[in-house]
Amino acid sequence: MWLLTILAIAAVIGIHLWWRRKFAALSGQRAAEIEASHRRQQQTNVDAKAQQQILFNSMIEGLLLLDRTQKIYLANRAFKNLFGLKIELRGKTILEALRLHELDDLVKRVQAEGQVFDYELKLPDLSERWLRVNAAVISNSAGEREGTILVFHDLTRLKQLERTREEFVANVSHELRTPLSLIKGYVETLLDGARNNPDVAERFLKIIERNTNRLDLLIQDLLTISALESGRIKLNLQPVELRQLAGKVFTDLHARAENKNVSLINELPELTASADANRLDQVFANLVDNAIKYGRASGAVKIGGKKLEDGRLEIFVRDDGPGIPPEALDRVFERFYRVDKARSRDQGGTGLGLSIVKHIVQAHGGEVRAESETGKGATFFFTLPESKMG
Ligand code: ADP
């Protein structure tokens, strides 16, 4: 009986202990599972956060997240670059971080209206910069406001292009209107009776002819510029003998030079460039024409050149006229830029010659520059690739 009782108690204790061990093992396993899952979750969170960070920082747009108290919660790399900021922004208000009242006002507007799209913000830097801002309030599923998101897009390049286009259209209209109104005026005067005086009529008709030629030249130059800028022109590259080409351009412009008693000197050695002969003809012609136009009467225009150490060919066109002031040396290659407007127009200039030269040289992979010492003439240099076949 005792034995039975003891056996029964031992069995109960054994079962209990077995259960305890089993339970302990089970709960240990469970705990480990829970911990592992927790760790996995944490790892996933870390990965997601890292991915989020990579994503935000690889965005071209600047991104700014504000928390519900309007303090900065996140600012991505593009945002910091746009505003030139290197400091930590988290926890700061917009005014503290950027001192931009306009942006602070925009955030207030977003709070009132829920969202603001296509807001154009001009940054008060020295270099004019424009941003487009899209902003909206972020709400959770319960409709409570969690913060504000602002996305910034750099509009500066677009604005610059827009302005260049507007300036170009304004310049072209002006350039066209000047000869046109002269033609119109003289035609009206002729019709009003001036045609009855043969001398006056001849003089007026010559003015009309000169201005129609100017219009023609301007339109030709405009078409060339537009074709060069849009990349529509395909270069027909061939070996071009530069000395020979300079000689041909001198012959073409011989009469103009003679009118001013200017001597044309070809000092180019035998060099063969890989170039489009017709386009290069235009480069030489524009530079020599300018040298005659703006050089001194009874002066000299020289073309020379050499092979540079890096294998490129460098050509120059030099005159001994009044030269170009230092501040205008780079600008003369801009469309319609002239040092002396009246002088250029008097000489029939369109203000596009050097811009065409620059485009053609660049299309050949070369560079162009001007050097001048006031009173001692101007020299235009440009480079071209050497022909490997020549
Ligand atoms: P333009 O039709 O007025 O000659 P360009 O583009 O050829 O236009 O030249 C721009 C300006 O550069 C000219 O108006 C002139 O003021 C200046 N320039 C060009 N070549 C010379 C030069 N050889 N000497 C002095 N000034 C020059």
Mean pLDDT of 185-207: 95
What pLDDT is attached to residue 7? Answer: 42
Q: Is pLDDT at 114 greater than 80 in this prediction?
A: yes
Q: Is pLDDT at 345 greater than 90 in this prediction?
A: no
Quick one: how far is CA 24 from the chain centroid?
Answer: 72
Q: Whose C-alpha lies nearest to ligand 1, atom 2?
A: 349
From ligand 1's centre to the CA of 390, what distance in Å? 33
Q: Is pLDDT at 318 greater than 50 in this prediction?
A: yes
Q: Is pLDDT at 127 greater than 80 in this prediction?
A: no
DSSP state of 83: H
Best residue among 344, 345, 357, 382 to mutate for probing ligand 1, ranked by most atoms within 8 Å of CB: 344
From ligand 1's centre to the CA of 170, what distance in Å? 20
Q: Is pLDDT at 18 greater than 70 in this prediction?
A: no
What pLDDT is attached to residue 6? Answer: 38
Q: Is pLDDT at 176 greater than 70 in this prediction?
A: yes
Confidence of residue 340 (pLDDT cuts 50, 70, 90): confident
Confidence of residue 189 (pLDDT cuts 50, 70, 90): very high
From ligand 1's centre to the CA of 338, what distance in Å? 6
14 compared with 290, residue with greater pLDDT: 290
Q: Please state the atom number of ligand 1 nearest to the C-alpha of residue 286.
A: 7
Confidence of residue 13 (pLDDT cuts 50, 70, 90): very low
What pLDDT is attached to residue 25? Answer: 58
Mean pLDDT of the chain: 89
Best residue among 213, 289, 294 to mutate for probing ligand 1, ranked by most atoms within 8 Å of CB: 294
What pLDDT is attached to residue 1? Answer: 43
CA distances, 144 to each of 11, 57, 63, 148 (Å): 62, 28, 22, 12
Residues written for the chain:
390
Q: Please state the atom number of ligand 1 nearest to the C-alpha of residue 352.
A: 6
Find the helix or strand (DSSP H, E) in which 226 lies: helix 198-229
Mean pLDDT of 237-260: 97
What pLDDT is attached to residue 27? Answer: 60
For ligand 1, which residues put their CB under 6 angstroms from it?
A: 286, 290-291, 294, 319, 321, 324, 332, 337-340, 344, 349-355, 378
Q: Give the Cα separation of 359 and 14 in Å (integer).
A: 98
What pLDDT is attached to residue 162? Answer: 92
From ligand 1's centre to the CA of 3, what distance in Å? 126
CB of 300 closer than 8 Å to CB of 263: yes
Q: Is pLDDT at 12 greater than 50 in this prediction?
A: no
Confidence of residue 385 (pLDDT cuts 50, 70, 90): very high
**337 phi and psi, to 5 degrees?**
-80, 130
34 compared with 283, residue with greater pLDDT: 283
Segment of 153-167, 278-292, 328-342 carrying the highest mean pLDDT: 278-292
Q: Is pLDDT at 215 greater than 50 in this prediction?
A: yes
Q: Is pLDDT at 82 greater than 80 in this prediction?
A: yes
In percent, the amount of the chain with pLDDT more than 90 equals 73
What pLDDT is attached to residue 21? Answer: 54
From ligand 1's centre to the CA of 352, what distance in Å? 9
What pLDDT is attached to residue 4? Answer: 46
Which domains are assigned to the chain?
57-154 (3.30.450.20), 157-233 (1.10.287.130), 235-390 (3.30.565.10)
Q: Whose C-alpha lies nearest to ligand 1, atom 4?
A: 349
Q: What is the pLDDT of residues 37-80, one digit of tens each?
A: 888 888 877 788 888 888 898 999 999 999 999 999 999 999 99
For residue 228, which amino acid is it?
A: L
Dihedral through CA 193, CA 196, CA 198, CA 200, nearest 10? -20
